[in-house]
Structure formats: C-alpha cells, structure tokens
A and B are shown apart, each in its own frame.
Chain A
Amino acid sequence: MTETKLLKKSSFESFFKSLQGQGKTIYAPKNNGKKVEFTKVSTFEDIVFDYINSNQSTKDIVFPRYHKVFRYTKEKDQSITLQDFDPNALPETVIIGQRPCDAVGILALKAIFETDNKDLPFTARYDKTTFVTISCNKCDENCFCTSNGFGPGSTNGSDILLTPVQNGDFYAEILTEKGKNLIKANESLFENTAEMDKTPFLVKVEPKFDNTKIQEKLGSLFNHETWVEQSLHCIGCGACAYVCPACACFDILDEDNGRSGFRYKCWDSCGLGNFTLHTSGHNPREVQSQRWRQRIYHKFSYMPKREHVFGCVGCGRCSKVCPVNMNIIEHLQTVNEL
C-alpha cells in the first residue's frame, strides 16, 4: 500500500546529503551548458528542478550505451582466465528527478530484457537502482504521454513519486519496498500527510491519438504506401532510437588484442541500414521505409502483443532531436486517419 508523505523544499538537500552519506551514486538532471542531461551529481546545487524534460532519457543508467559483458586473458600456459560480469561491483544507485515517462520507459526495457531469460546486466542494474520520479507541471508540443495510457503524474515504474505542490514542497508517494528503504534513514524529513488529489498540480497534456486504436489499425497496414510517404525525408540515423527511453536494440561485439580481450554490448538502432544486413549481403530491410515501418510496428504492435507494454512512452524526444523533423505525433495521427 502506498504511503503518502510531504517532503519540504527545505528538506530536499538534507535528503540528498543523507543518500550521499550512505554511499549511493546519484543521477539527477544537470545543465551541461547546452542541454539538461542526467549526470552523476555530487553537489545538490547542480540539480536542475525547473525543466521540462532531459535531452536524453535515463535509459543509459540501467542500459548503458556501452558495457562489457565479460573479459578474458590468455595465460602463459595457454589456459584462459574468464572474468564474468560481476553484479556485485555495481554501485547502489538513485535516480532523482526523472519524469514519469522515463519511469514507464524503464518498465518497457524491463519487459524486453526480462521476457523469458533475464538479461543479467540489465536486471542487476535495475535491482540496484531506486527511481525517484518527479511529476510534470510543464510540457511542450512534443509531449503525448496521455495518448499512451498514462500521464504527467503516473506512478508506474517509480519507487517514489514526488509531485511539486504549494511553496515548492513535494507530495511524496512511497510506492515500493525500494522506495520505503530509501527513506528509512530519513523518516524525519518525510512528514505524514493524507492522500491528496494531485491533479491541480499537474500539467494538462492533451491526448493526440489513442494508442490502442493505432495497434488495431496496424493489423492491416503493413503494405500501405504511408510508410514510404512518411519516411521520404527520414535520413536513417540513430538519433531517435538513442534518445528514446524504450528503444532497446543493441549489438554484441568483441575487442581483442591477441592476449586478452572482452565482449561488450552497445546500443544499435533498427533505423540504421546495416542493422539487418546479413553476412551474405542480403538485407531484408533494404530501404528506409521498411526500417521506419519496423520502428512503428515494434513499438505499437509487436511489443503490446508480445510483452504487453507499448514501446513508446510519449516523451517526444525523438521528434525533438530529429535533424529532419520526422514527428511521431504527426505520423501516428496519419495512421489513425487511414
């Protein structure tokens, strides 16, 4: 059962310092001079609270763009020493200030990485991370979380949800065991308060389409010309996928210097031409329209069918960073009208 508390604005720094004192690695939104990005922070003053959303999602923290899976060394006697991925070496981590859409994005990643076999590095990072989300009181024209079945104050995927209320104080919903454990050492900072209606403190995000209707439509649109039309101006880079909180494509490669080496995982994107290139030279997704269709189908048809979650959270980052203004709302509205 959810516990509801009040975290005074003046107590936030003490909460932060206490987490630091417990040796936790803290990620929070920080302005790097150009953009607000989730960064390891060591000073409370570095945290930005007044922002709509970070340029990149918090995906990188639980599913890093690059991480080693194992290392090996060839010894003098020709034997091989293998050093496997060590989940115990990961630090206890807290993410402060991600938006509800990123929390939902991490649930989508979880669905992908934990369906049938669990992906050990992902699960280990997820288990060691506590998600302290902050509700949205601002949005921009690219936000469409409410079209995907949740909203600016949704608790899905968060351990604690903080909603900014009067006087800059935060209404705190302690949602999980992880969340409870996080405030255990600081219970005095969290005053008991009755459950309240957050709506007046949340931004109103107008729905742009209905994702279940999109899913239904896609059933008969695979060969429709719209995919070619929509993607004519797509240049096939990976910017949309890399800023997306729910995109999980990756590549596995080796680096070896003859005596030792390692295997690693890094981000990849289904929008890149080589993603499906076979060794034979055949490429089943030869042109960009097929790759664009795959992106939409994976998020709005295959994932809900297979993993029972949508692969799009409505953060709008893909539209924001797209160098050629491919806009996902525009494209999905087109699908809706077909």
Chain B
Amino acid sequence: MEDIRKRAKQLLEAKTVDVVIGYGEGYGKKVKAIFVRKPEDADKLIYDERCTQNIGVYLTKHEVKHFGKAAIVASVPVMRTILQLCSENQLKEDDVLTLGITLEGKFLEFPTYRTLENFLANGVQPLTESDKELMAKIDAMSISERWNFWTAELSKCIKCYACRSSCPMCYCNRCMVDYNQPQWVSVPSTEIGNIEWHLMRAMHLAGRCVNCGECGRACPVDLPIHLLTFKASEEAKINFSAVAGLSMAMPSTLSTYKPNDKENFIK
C-alpha cells in the first residue's frame, strides 16, 4: 500500500500523470474508486481484499478522460482490461500507466503495455472456488435442466443494466438494447426480454471478456451472469484460440473473417 501511495505522489508531483485512479475508503466499511489529482491526496489510496471492483471501467468514462493522462492501480483483471481496450482501439498504446498488483499482492509498475503483455503471459487470475463449483454444476446439467436453471435465474433480472454499466468492455455509446428502430430486444423486464438481453450480452462479450466477474458482483439480485461470459470466453479459447486481454493487438474473435476459415458455411 505504501508503495502505491509513494509512487502515486511522485507521479503527480512530477506531473507525469494528471490523475491516479485507485481505491479509497468509502462509507461504512466499504471501499470506492477514487481519482487522485493532488500529490497530497495520494495517501488516501488503499489496497486490500475489499478492492475487488474492476476500476478499468473508468478509463473510458467521459469525466475521467477529461482529467488527462492517467495511472491506474491495477489488479490482474484491470491489467487485462487495459490491453483489451487497447486492442479495441479504446486506449492508445501506453496511454495509461499501470500500477500493478500481482496475484501475490506485490506492487509492480508497468511502464509500457508490452511489459504488461510479458507479465500476463505467465498466467492470469483463476476462477474463484465458488464460481468453479457452480460452473461444474451447470456443465453437468442436461440441456433442459440448464435451460430451466437459467430461465429461473434470469426471470429475477430487473433490467437495471448494472451488469452492462459495470463492465469495462461495455463502452458502446449506444448499446443494442437502446435501439428502438428496429427494437432488437424487448425493453421491459419480462422473462423473454431478460433472456434476450443476457444472451446478447454474453455473445457480444465472447472472446472479449477479461473474466473479472464484475457483472455478477454488480447484480443487485445476485444472478451468476458472469458465468455466461466466462463460458463464452472458454468457448472462444477452444474454438478460436482467442483469450481476451493478453495482447494489445488481438483480432476481434467474432468479427474477423479469414478466407481459410475451418467452417464451410461462411465461405
């Protein structure tokens, strides 16, 4: 924690960056994202087991971009977010300075995205035990059982779009659910409308999801919707050898056409 504060202070004093995005104390015992712009505020930065939010979501936020050059306190999912955003042309190469926290909790600074790529090649964050367990349970289900499981879960969705808003990869200015001419997805929270939304979301994140699990944590009704995008990532890896957030130049899995595609229907 002291390393982060010290480095943030230096960076702000030297005006190397204009803002350090990190975590600070919130109300009660909760933490929240903070945006440090003055060297004397660097001591407000914290990092502990409560800091689970993927704060990479703020890198594309209008008000935050407005501050200028940013450094960000980055756990492994945030590092992957940076590379994936770069590969999707949402961040310029080396635009963001990464104050990384390794899986072991060690502070490590990454001056370039190339150094991030090298680091992440050694491994990324594993699924949590409870996610592994639930994923295995769902995998073991028959198709009809799985359908029943998801329709029951998704019927509770209130369509608040916290999953979309909390996801750093959902940066579209206008989401497909917000189109009404034509209306692709039913707007209200109905059984079919909810399923349509979550399936579309998972498909749009296939091969792009950095597996941070933020959507599931954000959900106010506790739906395990992060498993949908995790599963889509797994499929993208198996079928297209694509893993999101490991390279700043990864071709988009679902919108890349190759003349030598192994599937015939597309030729």
Contact = CB atoms under 8 A, between A and B. Distances in A.
Contact of B162 (A55, A56, A239, A288): A239
Contact of B188 (A32, A55, A56, A66): A66
B87 interface: no
Interface in A253-278: 253, 255, 264, 266-267, 269, 272, 274
**A-B pairs, 4 with minimum CB distance:** A323-B218, A266-B188, A237-B165, A321-B220
Interface string A120-161: 000000000000000000000110000000000000000000
Nearest to B29: A141
A233 B190 contact: no
A52 interface: no
A304 interface: no
A65 B188 contact: yes
B63 A327 contact: no
B137 interface: no
Nearest to A268: B187
Interface string B178-200: 10100100111110000000000
A238 B189 contact: no
Interface stretch (B30-38, B121-129, B239-247, B256-264): B30-38
Interface in B214-255: 214, 217-222
Contacts of B98: none
B202 to A, nearest CB: 18
B160 interface: yes
A324 interface: yes
Nearest to B214: A323
Nearest to A232: B35
A327 B35 contact: no
B27 interface: yes
Given A255-B186, A321-B220, A325-B31, A65 B158 contact: yes
A288 to B, nearest CB: 7
A251 B180 CA distance: 13
A209 interface: no
A233 B32 contact: yes
Given A233-B32, A325-B30, A251 B218 contact: no
B57 interface: yes
B63 A65 contact: no
Given A228-B63, A238-B161, A325-B27, A233 B187 contact: no
Contacts of A255: 183, 186
Contacts of A142: 28
A239 B35 contact: no
Given A34-B222, A235-B165, 13 more contacts: A35-B221, A228-B63, A233-B58, A237-B162, A238-B159, A238-B160, A253-B180, A267-B158, A267-B189, A289-B63, A324-B32, A325-B31, A327-B30
A191 interface: no
Nearest to A250: B188
A27 to B, nearest CB: 16
A323 to B, nearest CB: 3
A251 B26 CA distance: 33
Interface of B: 26-28, 30-35, 53, 57-58, 61-64, 156, 158-162, 164-166, 174, 178, 180, 183, 186-190, 214, 217-222
Given A255-B186, A319-B27, A324-B32, A34 B63 contact: no
A325 B32 contact: yes
Given A323-B53, A329-B27, A34 B34 contact: no
Nearest to B62: A287
A251 B64 CA distance: 30
A100 B11 CA distance: 51
A167 B35 CA distance: 52
A313 interface: no
Contacts of B33: 232-233, 324
A223 to B, nearest CB: 16
A237 B161 contact: yes
A167 B182 CA distance: 60
Interface string A308-336: 00000000000101011111011000000
B220 A264 contact: no
Given A34-B221, A325-B26, A272 B161 contact: yes
A242 interface: yes
B162 A327 contact: no
A250 B40 CA distance: 44
12 contacts: A56-B221, A66-B190, A233-B58, A237-B161, A237-B162, A237-B218, A238-B159, A239-B160, A239-B162, A274-B178, A324-B32, A327-B30
A237 B61 CA distance: 13
A66 to B, nearest CB: 4
Interface string A34-60: 110000000000000000000110000
Given A242-B160, A324-B53, A325-B30, A236 B165 contact: yes
Contacts of A141: 27-28
A66 B193 CA distance: 11
Contacts of A324: 32-33, 53, 166
A243 interface: yes
A162 interface: no
Contacts of B26: 325, 327, 330
A4 B4 CA distance: 61
Contacts of A321: 162, 220
